[in-house]
Structure 1
Amino acid sequence: MSGNWQPAYLQLGIEELQCRAEEALRHLESCDLCARGCHINRRLGTEGFCRTGPKLRVYSHGPHFGEERPLVGCRGSGTIFFSRCNLKCVFCQNWEISHRGEGCLVGPEELAAMMLALQGAGCHNINLVSPSHVVAQILGALPLAVEQGLKIPIAYNSGGYDSLAALQLLDGIVDIYLPDMKFADSRKAAPWLGVNDYAEVNRAALAEMYRQVGVLQCGPTGIARRGLLIRHLILPDNAAGTDELLRFVAGELSPDVHINLMDQYRPCYRADQYPPLDRRPTRAELCQARQWAKELGMRNLLG
């Protein structure tokens, strides 16, 4: 990539960023900015599933070194952890944040200041964690941050249950997409995620993300600048349908897509009530997942 590279949102210009922010606010009036499509007026209150109104909640922000190497580099990924979520995973490892909603109310000026503070701390990117239900609020803060000098890539780190309406607003703004790819079978996943159409929504979202940013690209020092990086948590008994998910990525997207096959699953929150999620995957199950990826010719496995 060229030496004069700059993030996508700087190429759009401030006027277009402001237009996107205004359009996103209009979407909040009959909200379809996540795949649940509650269609309530979130500008008036917090009655939707996400229980998030005009202002969002932030649990924490700061440099984070637990992400993938292309994100972390030597100075960390600048994570902003948003409270609440548009899923209800029974095995959530951060359920206090996503389900209980712990965190502080934040307006656009404060969110912009967080982005600038992370850049000032030397972080390689702004890593928006669980952003699917707060796209409008993020877009409202971004022009303020850009006017004050924000110039590092934006990473959209979601559970993968994202609406096309939101992703279209983010086209040309997000540099790096970091979606989860949780389950291949919506019917099987429904009691575990709290939605009936996860697989279909997820595949459409990943296809749109890939259309926007393509295969992950890094700068000369190995730091991610643009592209798609999919995360998949390997579950016991192949409960997620890992083999089917990998076939989708290799066949419908590209075998060059970067995918992190994560081996850290452990039963959390209410997982002990939902076998086989009540145990860790075995070494053999973890090895089998990687073997499936290799047989499909996937060339950029992480983890």
Structure 2
Amino acid sequence: MGTRPASTPSYRRLSEADFDARVRALWRRYEDCDLCPHDCGVDRTAGETGACGVTDDALVASYFDHHGEESVLRGHSGSGTIFLAGCNLHCVFCQNFDISQRLQGDPVGPEEISEMALELQDRGCHNVNFVTPTHVAPHLAAAVRIAHDRGLKVPIVWNCGGYERVDVLELLDGIVDIYMPDVKWSDSEAAVEYSGAPDYWDRARDALREMHRQVGDLSTDCRGIATDGLLVRHLVMPGHVENTKGVLAFLAEEISQETYVNLMDQYRPHYRARTDSRYEEINRRVRSEEYQEVVAYARELGLRLA
């Protein structure tokens, strides 16, 4: 993991013309929506909805200085999280299902999102952290454009579910500083059953390659705060040790052994996993021996663990 001086801005500026062209290209995708691999083809500008359940309005559930993120993001002053409602995944265990599936949030435009970002920077947050951003990428890119012109300096974090399109990620090159995909599945059957994404692993692998191509391994400044790069989250699921090992092996063998990985052990049954008997096998916490097995495997592979 590289280190940069604290005074070095991590924001990689595009020319104004290039930035504007990227934003326009993203806006056009709402009209026949293919922002994510579901490729719904609906006209969200006409009020139609696809897998994410959202029209062309971005919905913000909350924004605040988050002190529960990884240490390289939260530092001493917090990560400036902006939680977007809606999601292109339908995880039956989602702990934020009121936001992701029930769309609890207020409609906002790029101007308002830019004001949130600048307010979070003014509070001292070390970054602006867009949570579940994929389905409203046009709003967020436009907001960053506005905020950049008004003095936004802190890194932009793309805190997504890993179910991404490479051609959309390419439009974010130079806009996003830190990619933080929560990579869920290397097991395609599980991805269908628990997240409604039949091609999840194919898409996630391609997305990880593109993210790493853009930003490389995670770098920090002299305070230990992330400036740019790839940070991968993975939630260890009960009974799915081999799934986790598949994710870790891919990262070590095909991305980089320097990949910074947060292996999360905080799984709790939420949403349908807690109430629907069809998901009884994941209606329990992860056992200590399951978690320790995957941690040992990650260390064996040489990955950097959060």
Band of TM-score, shorter chain: over 0.9
Residue 33 of structure 1 aligns to a residue whose secondary structure is coil
From 10, 15, 20, the counterpart of 1:7: 10
Q: Paired residue for 2:219, among 202, 217, 220?
A: 217
Q: Which amino acid aligns with 2:10?
A: P
CA RMSD in angstroms, aligned pairs only: 1.4
Q: Distance in 1 between matches of 2:38 and 2:171?
A: 17
SS at 1:275 equivalent: helix
1:36 maps to amino acid: H
Q: Which residue of 2 aligns with 1:95?
A: 97
In structure 2, C-alpha distance between the alignment counterparts of 1:53 and 1:248, rounded to whole Å: 35
Q: Is the 8 A contact 1:183 1:240 kept in 2?
A: no
Mapped to 2, the partners of 1:128 and 1:240 lie a distance apart of 30
Alignment-derived partner of residue 55 in structure 1: 57
CA shift for structure 1 position 255: 1.1
What does residue range 116-135 of structure 1 map to in structure 2 within 5 Å? 116-135=118-137
Instruction: Say whether residues 1:279 and 2:284 are aligned partners.
Output: yes
Distance in 1 between residues matched to 2:237 and 2:187, nearest whole Å? 13
Q: Within 1, Cα distance between the matches of 2:253 and 2:131?
A: 28
Distance apart, 1:239 and its partner CA: 5.6
- The 1:3/1:279 distance shift into structure 2, 3 A limit, reads closer
How far apart are the structure 1 equivalents of 2:106 and 2:242?
33
1:22 deviation in Å?
0.8
Match of 1:174 in 2: 176
Report the alpha carbon displacement of residue 84 of structure 1 after superposing the two structures with TM: 0.5
Other-structure match for 1:164: 166
User: Is the alpha carbon distance of 1:69 and 1:4 closer, same or farther for their aligned partners in structure 2, counting shifts above 3 Å?
Assistant: closer
Q: CA deviation at 1:45?
A: 1.6
Equivalence for 2:238 = 236
Provide the rounded CA distance (Å) in 2 between the counterparts of 1:87 and 1:240. 21
Instruction: Name the % identity.
Output: 45
Shift of 1:8: 3.3
- Pairwise CA distance, 1:145: 1.0
Contact 2:182 2:232 in 1 (8 A): yes
- Match of residue 289 from structure 1: 294
Q: How far off its partner does 1:13 sit?
A: 3.0
* 1:35-93 deviation per Cα after TM superposition (whole angstroms, max 9, x unaligned): 11112222222322222222210000010000000000000000000001000000000
1:183 matched residue in structure 2: 185
Distance 2:188 2:58 in 1: 29
Letter in 2 for 1:235: M
Cα distance in 1, alignment partners of residues 134 and 23 from structure 2: 15
C-alpha distance in structure 2 between counterparts of 1:279 and 1:114, whole Å: 37
SS in 1 for 2:135: coil
Cα offsets for 1:182-241 (capped at 9, x unmatched): 111112321110121111111111111111111100001000000000001111112661
Deviates most, 181-190 or 254-263: 181-190
Which one-letter code corresponds to 2:102 in the other structure? R
Q: Which amino acid aligns with 2:9?
A: Q
- Which residue of the partner structure matches residue 87 of structure 2? 85
1:4, distance to aligned residue in structure 2 (A): 5.4
TM-score by length of 2: 0.94
Q: Which residue in 2 is equivalent to 1:208?
A: 210
Give SS of 1:167's match: helix
Could you tell which deviates more after superposition, 12-21 or 51-60? 12-21
In the other structure, the counterpart of 2:152 is 150
Amino acid at match of 1:18: D
Q: Which runs of 5+ in 1 are unaligned?
A: none
Q: Distance in 1 between matches of 2:39 and 2:117?
A: 28
Pick the aligned partner of 2:21 from 11, 19, 22.
Answer: 19
8 Å CA contact 1:234, 1:240 repeated in 2: no
How many residues were matched structurally?
300
Q: Secondary structure at the match of 1:24?
A: helix
